[in-house]
């Protein structure tokens, strides 16, 4: 019996002989984590298949050991994994690496020479192995592998379990210790323990250096086994009576959707998927009995959950994508906010989690439910239970008539009202592609990133301006004069956060301002305590805390969200507006939009407090153009550091595909919207059509020489920027 072992690498499973030292018959090894030799070192993989008989062309290596006494996944979980890899057009290992980033734990590894062996076989440097068990670390792995292959190495491997550690005070510091050090020491004494140096520094209001100093001098120290995972205090809720258990629920407020979920979970255990941890945590307090699994948990906590699931009883679980493979006994899978872009896996598979969830449900034979404020068009095939959405208070400011930019007189008046009533406001910037760009007014020169085909963004810290690429992080000082024509008439402008920030300072100097973007988050404590002020930021705000006195949400350049070369831009914008309308659990803040398109269907949908009209319009358009969900779309992406090489490769690929494709199935080739990324030139082709047609085209994809080809199985966004 041979083992098919999947490693978290972009490869198909490899074949190994079963570990000879294990009493477990290989026939039972399916789903086990196994340690195998790989390129002279040890790696952890997953047994995803068994093969009868012996192998032909090359000598197989022997697996070293199973990591646990029990399997990690069931046959149905592995079946799903294999099918999902096929659906994502990637090797099984790629998807394994994406879905189980915690598959490979640090290993405790000990070795010795087999007792019967002659110590003289030991090469120089390994003589100690004849003396008995040794830590493998410190020996040359290549030499160890030589002994392993020769069959004279005995090995013990196990997961390195790190007991949770915490900082505690160890001894009273002497009098002459610095003021700050004393403060930090007393803070730790009062706290009892701290999870990290940074946490203690924060709590004590000192720098991390102070804590380090205390640690070095031995007044505080790390102790084992102290910390407990943070569990939010449980909160009770009243399940929302439902006329039936819907496959698709939309509308209502977040609180109602949580209550409706409670009703659903009463009907049997479910896997509930969330696009991001922040949203999961808003549900968590109401489901204290459910398992929780996500990437912010410590390895130790995750291991405990996985073991509990493997041990058996049915249970519901709140998870991010990392929980998709949990071997749970389920009745259903629930996908919360299935249109969220955070569901796109950033790794090699580029899979889209809701699509994987559908496959998972099919493989397990359980029902799949979508649970969102506004369902995606993809989900709308299912019959819905529509809760009445909160009626948004919408105020459209027509930029064709309003004066003042970026903040019109009307917008300023609204902000003044907020201030007068001691309330809070949010000013939201699209930022993406439209934030401050350094542009010369005389010759139209623009500061560009030397690595990416993107304008550099202008930032200001104090009096110094600097330029930064938001894609690759490249940074330089802003030039004083235009490098092209020598003019000093620069115009660093755009409706980015910085500019709005300054405009607010100028027009409303007494209104307290706070910044909130993915990169820069101000301390919002005063706002959370109810103090008046305005929060300026990007859509990262949606994932931030709730402002208790929120009265106004202002989008100075709402059109910036629609102006993207992307067939989903309007749908995204529409969803954003509904999300903004539901930002506060009870209040209905005024949503003020500065726009050149007050008649946009998304605006009409909000005015009528009904998303259906917009969505059916959008759906009809997609249908007419043959875009998803009316078809399957797949993106082929070719990248190379040399522009002509990448161009030739994509042209050749398109030429070979064109005779096989039907009209409308092959779009492009075209340079990617960001034509140069991290020093690579990127071109893409889109395939769209019926599922079987796309499958057939990809199955016979001509090999791409000379450039790197990647397949995006479910492209969500065609402007691949990282920023918010």
Chain positions contacting DNA, by CB under 7 A: 9-11, 14-16, 36-39, 58, 60-61, 348, 641-642, 705-706
Residue 429 CB contacts under 8 Å (≥ 6 apart), including other chains: 435, 495, 496, 497, 500, 536, 537, 538, 556, 557, 560
Smallest gap from Cβ 10 to DNA, in A, equals: 4
Smallest gap from Cβ 349 to DNA, in A, equals: 10
Cβ(35)–Cβ(65) below 8 Å: yes
Smallest gap from Cβ 28 to DNA, in A, equals: 20
d(C-alpha 576, C-alpha 542), whole Å: 9
Cβ(47)–Cβ(32) below 8 Å: yes
Residue 444 CB contacts under 8 Å (≥ 6 apart), including other chains: none
Smallest gap from Cβ 5 to DNA, in A, equals: 8
Strand 134-135 relative to strand 107-113, pairing: antiparallel
Complex with DNA: residue 10 or 404, whichever CB lies closer: 10
Which helix (DSSP H) or strand (DSSP E) does residue 431 occupy? none
Complex with DNA: residue 347 or 671, whichever CB lies closer: 347
Smallest gap from Cβ 140 to DNA, in A, equals: 12
Per 3-state DSSP, what percentage of the chain is helix, strand, and coil (rounded to 5)? 30, 25, 45
Complex with DNA: residue 64 or 467, whichever CB lies closer: 64
d(C-alpha 547, C-alpha 600), whole Å: 28
d(C-alpha 668, C-alpha 597), whole Å: 30
Complex with DNA: residue 10 or 629, whichever CB lies closer: 10
Smallest gap from Cβ 62 to DNA, in A, equals: 8
Smallest gap from Cβ 640 to DNA, in A, equals: 8
Complex with DNA: residue 151 or 641, whichever CB lies closer: 641
Complex with DNA: residue 18 or 246, whichever CB lies closer: 18
Smallest gap from Cβ 53 to DNA, in A, equals: 14
Smallest gap from Cβ 139 to DNA, in A, equals: 17
Q: How many residues does the chain have?
A: 724
d(C-alpha 279, C-alpha 274), whole Å: 7
Complex with DNA: residue 308 or 642, whichever CB lies closer: 642
Where on the phi/psi map is residue 422: left (φ > 0), alpha (ψ -120 to 50), or beta?
left
Complex with DNA: residue 32 or 293, whichever CB lies closer: 32
Phi, psi of 350 (to 5 degrees): 55, 30
What are the helix (H) ranges across 460-558? 497-507, 525-528
User: Angle between the 208-217 and 179-191 helix axes, to the nearest 10 degrees?
Assistant: 80
Complex with DNA: residue 38 or 567, whichever CB lies closer: 38
């Amino acid at each position: 019996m041979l083992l098919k072992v999947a490693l978290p690498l972009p490869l198909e499973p490899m074949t190994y002989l079963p570990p000879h030292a294990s009493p477990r018959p290989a026939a039972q090894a399916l789903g086990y984590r196994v340690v195998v030799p790989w390129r002279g070192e040890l790696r952890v993989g997953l047994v995803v298949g068994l093969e009868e008989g012996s192998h032909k062309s090359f000598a197989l290596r022997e697996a070293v050991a199973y990591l646990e006494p029990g399997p990690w996944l069931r046959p149905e979980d592995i079946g799903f994994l294999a099918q999902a890899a096929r659906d994502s057009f990637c090797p099984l290992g790629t998807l394994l690496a994406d879905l189980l980033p915690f598959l490979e734990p640090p290993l405790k590894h000990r070795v010795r020479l087999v007792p019967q062996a002659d110590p003289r076989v030991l090469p120089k440097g390994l003589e100690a192995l004849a003396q008995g068990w040794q830590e493998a670390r410190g020996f040359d792995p290549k030499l160890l592998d030589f002994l392993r292959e020769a069959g004279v190495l005995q090995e013990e491997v196990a997961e390195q379990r790190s007991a949770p550690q915490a900082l505690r005070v160890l001894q009273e510091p002497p009098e002459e210790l610095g003021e700050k050090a004393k403060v930090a020491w007393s803070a730790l004494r009062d706290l009892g323990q701290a999870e990290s140096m940074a946490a203690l520094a924060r709590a004590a209001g000192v720098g991390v250096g102070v804590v380090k100093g205390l640690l070095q001098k031995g007044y505080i120290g790390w102790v084992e086994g102290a910390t407990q995972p943070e569990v939010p205090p449980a909160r009770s809720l009243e399940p929302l009576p439902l006329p039936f258990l819907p496959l698709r629920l939309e509308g209502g407020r977040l609180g109602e959707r949580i209550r409706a979920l409670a009703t659903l979970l009463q009907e049997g255990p479910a896997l509930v998927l969330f696009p991001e941890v922040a949203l999961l945590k808003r549900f968590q307090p109401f489901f204290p009995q459910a398992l929780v699994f996500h990437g912010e948990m410590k390895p130790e906590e995750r291991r405990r959950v996985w073991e509990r699931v493997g041990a058996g009883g049915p249970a519901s679980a709140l998870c991010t994508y990392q929980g998709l493979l949990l071997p749970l006994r389920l009745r259903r899978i629930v996908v919360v906010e299935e249109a969220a872009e955070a569901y796109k896996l950033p790794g090699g598979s580029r899979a889209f989690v809701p699509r994987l969830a559908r496959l998972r449900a099919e493989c397990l034979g359980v029902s799949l439910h979508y649970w969102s404020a506004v369902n995606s068009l993809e989900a709308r095939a299912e019959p819905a239970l529509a809760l009445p959405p909160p009626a948004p208070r919408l105020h459209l400011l027509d930029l064709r008539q309003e004066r003042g930019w970026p903040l019109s007189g009307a917008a300023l008046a609204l902000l003044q009202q907020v201030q007068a009533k001691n309330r809070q406001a949010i000013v939201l910037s699209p930022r993406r592609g439209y934030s401050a760009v350094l542009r010369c007014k005389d010759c139209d020169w623009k500061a560009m990133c030397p690595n990416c085909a993107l304008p550099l963004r202008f930032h200001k810290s104090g009096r110094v301006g600097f330029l930064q690429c938001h894609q690759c992080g490249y940074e330089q000082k802003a030039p004083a004069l235009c490098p092209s024509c020598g003019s000093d008439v620069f115009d660093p402008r755009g409706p980015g956060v910085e500019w709005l920030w300054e405009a607010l300072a100028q027009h409303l100097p007494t209104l307290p301002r706070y910044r909130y973007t993915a990169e820069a988050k101000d301390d919002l404590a005063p706002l959370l305590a109810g103090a008046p002020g305005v929060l300026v930021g990007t859509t990262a705000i949606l994932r931030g805390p709730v402002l208790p006195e929120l009265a106004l949400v202002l989008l100075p350049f709402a059109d910036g969200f629609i102006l993207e070369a992307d067939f989903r831009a309007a749908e995204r914008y529409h969803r954003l507006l509904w999300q903004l309308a539901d930002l506060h659990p009870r209040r209905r803040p005024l949503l003020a939009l500065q726009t050149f398109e007050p008649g946009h269907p998304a605006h009409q949908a909000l005015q009528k407090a009904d998303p259906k009209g917009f969505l059916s319009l959008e759906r009809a358009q997609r249908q007419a153009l043959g875009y998803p969900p009316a078809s399957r779309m797949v993106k082929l992406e070719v990248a190379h550091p040399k522009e002509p090489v990448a161009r030739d490769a994509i042209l050749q690929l398109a030429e070979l595909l064109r005779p096989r494709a039907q009209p409308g199935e092959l779009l492009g080739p075209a340079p990617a919207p960001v034509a140069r990324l991290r020093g690579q030139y990127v071109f893409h082709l889109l395939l769209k059509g019926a599922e079987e047609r796309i499958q057939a085209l990809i199955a016979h994809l001509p090999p791409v020489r000379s450039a790197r080809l990647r397949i995006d199985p479910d492209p969500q966004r065609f402007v691949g920027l990282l920023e918010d």
